[in-house]
Chains A and B, each alone.
Chain A
Amino acid sequence: MSALTVVRAGLFDTLQDIGRIGYMALGIPTAGAMDRIGLSLANALAGNPPNTAGIEIGVMGPDLLVNAESVRIALAGPLSPTLIEGADAAPKPLESDRSHLLKRGQMLRIGMVEGASTAYLTVSGGFAVPPFMGSLSTYARAGIGGLEGRKLAAGDSLPIARDTAPAGQEHKLAAPFDYGSGSIRVIWGPQDDYFSAAGRQTFVSSEYRVSKEADRMGIRFEGPTIEHSKGADIISDGIGPGAIQVPGAGLPIVLLGDRQTVGGYSKIATVASVDLPRLGRLLPGLTVRFSAIGVEEAEGLRREQEVRLARAIASFQAARPAGGIDLARLYEENLIDGIVYEREAVR
Chain B
Amino acid sequence: MSVRYLSCGDTAFSVEFGNEISPQINGQVMALHAAVGRAKAAGALGGLVETVPSMRSLMVCYDPLSTTRAELQPQIDALIARGLPADAAGRTVRIPCCYDGEEFAPDLAEVAERTGKTSEQVIAEHLTSPFKVYVLGFMPGLAYIAGLEPSLTLPRRPQPRVRVPRSSVAIAMDMTTIYPFESPGGWHLIGRTPLWMFDKRREQPVFLAPGDSLVFERIDRARFDAIASEVEAGKLDWSLFYSDWSELITP
Chain A interface residues toward B at CB < 8 A:
21-29, 132-133, 139, 141-144, 149, 186-191, 235-243, 260-263, 267, 270-274, 295-296, 298-299, 302-303, 306
Contacts and interface: CB of A to CB of B under 8 A. Distances in A.
Contact of B59 (A240, A242, A272, A274): A240
Contact of A25 (B21, B64, B210): B210
Contacts of A271: 9
Contact of B21 (A141, A235, A238, A274): A235
Contacts of B141: 26-27
Interface stretch (B47-55, B78-86, B89-97, B100-108): B47-55
Query: Counting chain A CB atoms within 10 Å of each CB, which of B33, B135, B181 scores highest?
Result: B135
Given A235-B19, A296-B68, A261 B9 contact: no
14 contacts: A22-B49, A25-B251, A26-B206, A27-B138, A27-B139, A189-B7, A190-B6, A237-B57, A237-B59, A240-B8, A242-B9, A272-B9, A295-B9, A296-B69
Contacts of B249: 25
B7 A188 contact: yes
Contact of B68 (A139, A242, A299): A299
B20 A25 contact: no
B195 interface: no
A306 B63 CA distance: 12
Interface string B146-161: 0000000000000000
Interface size on B, as a range, is 35 or more
Interface in B112-150: 135-144
A27 B8 contact: no
B61 interface: yes
Contacts of B61: 24, 240
B215 interface: no
A27 B142 contact: yes
A154 B209 CA distance: 38
Contacts of A273: 9-11, 64
Nearest to A193: B6
The 10 lowest CB-CB distance pairs between A and B, nearest first, are A238-B59, A270-B9, A27-B136, A189-B7, A262-B137, A190-B6, A298-B10, A240-B12, A238-B52, A240-B8
Contacts of A189: 6-8
B69 A299 contact: yes
A132 B13 CA distance: 27
Contact of B10 (A143, A144, A239, A302): A302
Q: In the complex, which of the residues B10, B12, B56 has the most CB atoms of chain A within 10 Å of its own CB atom?
A: B10
Given A187-B9, A273-B10, A235 B55 contact: yes
Contacts, number: 157
Nearest to A297: B10
B235 interface: no
B140 A21 contact: no
Q: Which of A243, A274, A295 has the most chain B CB within a 10 Å cutoff?
A: A295
Contacts of A238: 8, 12, 14, 52-54, 57-59
Contacts of A26: 136, 140-141, 206, 209, 250
B149 to A, nearest CB: 21
B10 A243 contact: no
B205 interface: yes
Nearest to A270: B9
A27 B140 CA distance: 5
B187 interface: no
Contacts of B21: 235
A25 B140 CA distance: 10
B137 A23 contact: no
A298 B9 contact: yes
A59 B230 CA distance: 43
A133 B50 CA distance: 14
Contact of A237 (B55, B65, B136, B138): B55
A141 B12 CA distance: 24
Contacts of B8: 189-190, 238, 240, 243, 267, 270
